[in-house]
Structure 1
Amino acid sequence: MSKICLALPEATRAIHSDYADFRVRKKVFAYFLNNHNGDGIVSVCVKSALGENVDQASTQPDRYYLPRYIGPRGWFGMRMDRGKIDWREVRNIVELSYC
């Protein structure tokens, strides 16, 4: 996750107790959450167009979800604790959020 995010121009990372955020010019474009707020979920969360996040989460609810606090603001999460991780997909959603 860090390798993908930090490869983007001007990207920085801040590590916190149960999550990391990735920023460009002080604006967050991705989060890595690890049991954030005790929810038991490991995921990457990215920003999408408002409404698209709901569509994404409803297409495959076993893989995608709306994060508790940031979901209502256009973010969705891709679960990384459910089997094999498709790193190309992670890269794609991170790059879309970065733009």
Structure 2
Amino acid sequence: MVTEDDVRRLALALPETVEKTMYGTPAFYVRGKWFARVREEGDVLVLPVGSEEEKAGLIAAEPAAFFTTPHYDGSATVLVRFGAVDAGEMGELLAEAWRLRAPRRLAAGFDA
């Protein structure tokens, strides 16, 4: 099971990532753009994804891990339950969200 400390460690390992508070909970930013936020429940992470289709695909494929709420309808944002993914998968999810928000050159350097 992934913990908030695991999320923090994985997110902060990504280049130029900083932690700030968003809506009273920990959030992670790359050059001023958020790419992950711990929800108020403390065991759910909010992540941007590439499209609403990708979001729907994640939810359909693994509904125990991924879900949404009406607040995020119409948004390419998915919610992830900490207890339903392992650290490896969470790291991949965070890296993908980071790539979506990082400047192109920074992301290219990371991927090189």
**Interval of TM-score (by shorter of Structure 1 and Structure 2):** 0.7 to 0.9
Contact 1:54 1:66 in 2 (8 A): no
Unaligned regions of 5+ residues in structure 2, if any?
Answer: 1-6, 100-112
Structure 1 stretches of 4+ with a deviation exceeding 4 A read none
What SS class does the counterpart of residue 96 from structure 1 fall into? helix
- Where is the strand percentage greater, Structure 1 or Structure 2? 1
After TM superposition, the score normalised by the length of structure 1 is 0.79
Match for 1:20 among 22, 26, 29? Answer: 26
- Work out the percentage of aligned pairs sharing the same amino acid: 17
Counterpart-to-counterpart distance in 2, 1:67 and 1:90: 20
| Aligned length in residues | 92
Q: Aligned-residue CA RMSD in angstroms?
A: 2.0
- Where is the helix percentage greater, Structure 1 or Structure 2? 2
What SS class does the counterpart of residue 9 from structure 2 fall into? helix
Counterpart-to-counterpart distance in 1, 2:82 and 2:27: 16
Counterpart-to-counterpart distance in 1, 2:14 and 2:73: 24
- Correspondence list, 1:4-43, <5 A: 4-16=10-22, 19-35=25-41, 42-43=43-44
Counterpart-to-counterpart distance in 2, 1:43 and 1:73: 17
Query: In structure 1, what is the equivalent of residue 107 of structure 2?
Result: none
Unaligned regions of 5+ residues in structure 1, if any?
Answer: 36-40
After TM superposition, the score normalised by the length of structure 2 is 0.70
Structure with greater Cα Rg: 2
Point out which structure has higher relative CO (alpha carbons under 8 A, 6+ apart): 2
Contact 2:25 2:39 in 1 (8 A): yes
